[in-house]
Amino acid sequence: MSLFQEMSEAVISGSAKKVKELSEQALAQGNDPQNIINDGLIPGMNIVGARFKANEIYVPEVLISARAMHAGLNVVKPLLSAADTTNKGTVVVGTVKGDLHDIGKNLVCMMLEGAGYKVIDIGIDVAPEQFVKAVEENKPQIVGLSALLTTTMINMRNTIDLLKSYPVKVMVGGAPVTEKYAQEIGAHAYAADAASAVDRANELVAS
Amino acid sequence: MLIVGELINSTRKAISQAMEQKDKAYLQELARRQVEAGAHILDINAATSSNEIENIQWLADIVQEVVDVPICIDSPSAEAVAAGLARCQRPGMVNSISAEQERWEQMLPLIQKYGAKVVALCMQDGGMPETVDDRLEVAEKLVSGLTRAGVAADDIYLDPLIKPLGVDHNFGLQALETTRLLREKYPQVHVISGLSNISFGLPERRVINRAFLVMSVAMGMDAFILDPLDQAMMSLLAASRALAGQDEYCMDYITAVRAGLVKA
pLDDT tens-digit readout, A19-52: 999 999 999 999 999 999 999 999 999 999 999 9
Range of the domain at A144: 90-206
> Which tens digits make up the pLDDT trace of A100-144?
999 999 999 999 998 999 999 999 999 999 999 999 999 999 999
Cα gap A62→A42, rounded to integer Å: 13
Is A151–B128 a contact, with Cβ atoms under 8 angstroms apart? no
CB contact (8 A) between residue A100 and residue B11: no
pLDDT at A83 over 60: no
Could you give the ipTM of this predicted complex?
0.86
Structural domain boundaries in chain B: 1-90
Based on the fold, state whether residues A64 and A119 are members of the same structural domain. Answer: no
What's the pLDDT at B64? 98
A residues 104..123 contacting B (CB < 8 A): 106-107
Whether residues B167 and A63 touch (CB distance < 8 A) is answered with yes
3-class SS letters over chain B? CEEEEEEEECCCHHHHHHHHCCCHHHHHHHHHHHHHCCCCEEEEECCCCCCHHHHHHHHHHHHHHHCCCCEEEECCCHHHHHHHHHCCCCCCEEEEEECCHHHHHHHHHHHHHHCCEEEEECCECCECCCCHHHHHHHHHHHHHHHHHCCCCHHHEEEECCCCCCCCCCCHHHHHHHHHHHHHHHCCCCEEEEECCHHHCCCCCHHHHHHHHHHHHHHHCCCEEEECCCCHHHHHHHHHHHHHCCCCHHHHHHHHHHHCCCCCC
Total beta-carbon pairs less than 8 A apart between chain A and chain B: 54
Both A21 and A97 in one domain: the answer is: no
- For residue B95, the cross-strand partners are B74, B119
Q: Identify all chain A residues contacting B76, using CB atoms and an 8 Å cutoff.
A: 149-152
User: Phi and psi dihedrals of B152, rounded to 5?
Assistant: -70, 145
A111 and A183 housed in the same domain: yes
The proportion of chain A whose per-residue pLDDT surpasses 70, expressed as a percent, equals: 97
CB contact under 8 A, B77 and A100: no
Q: Say what the pLDDT of residue B49 is.
A: 85
Q: Which residues of chain B lie closer than 8 angstroms to A100, CB-CB?
A: 100, 123, 125-128
**pLDDT for position B168:** 95
- My answer on whether A55 and A111 are in the same domain is no
Query: B170 contacts in A (CB within 8 Å)?
Result: none
CB-closest option in A59, A150, A176 to B201: A59
pLDDT of residue A106: 94
Q: What is the pLDDT of residue A207?
A: 87
* A107 and A41 inside one domain: no
Whether residue A14 is predicted with pLDDT greater than 70 in this model: the reply is yes
Same domain flag for A36 and A109 = no
Number of domains in chain A: 2
**Contact between B164 and A102 using a beta-carbon 8 Å cutoff:** no
- Find the CB nearest B202 among A58, A125, A176: A58
- pLDDT (0 to 100) of residue A87: 73
- Kindly report the average pLDDT of chain B as a whole number: 96
- The CATH number that applies at residue A46 is 1.10.1240.10
At B196, the pLDDT band (50, 70, 90 cuts) reads: confident
B29 pLDDT more than 60 = yes
Residue B50 pLDDT > 90: no
Q: Looking at the structure, do residues A71 and A103 belong to the same domain, yes or no?
A: no
- % of chain B residues with pLDDT over 70: 100
Confidence of residue A185 (pLDDT cuts 50, 70, 90): very high
Interface test with A, best of B128, B130, B198, B204 (most A CBs within 10 A): B128
B interface residues, A as partner, C-beta within 8 Å: 11, 47-48, 52, 75-77, 100, 102, 123, 125-128, 163-164, 166-167, 169, 200-203
Boundary residue ending a domain (A66, A84, A102)? A84
Mean pLDDT of B84-101: 97
Separation CA A63–CA B167 (nearest Å): 8
Residue A85 has a pLDDT of 59
Average pLDDT of the residues of chain A: 94
pTM here is 0.91
Confidence class of residue A84 from pLDDT cuts 50, 70 and 90? low
Q: Hey, is the C-beta of A63 within 8 angstroms of any chain B C-beta? A: yes
pLDDT of residue A80: 82
Q: Residues B110-149: pLDDT tens digits?
A: 999 999 999 999 999 998 999 999 999 999 999 999 999 9
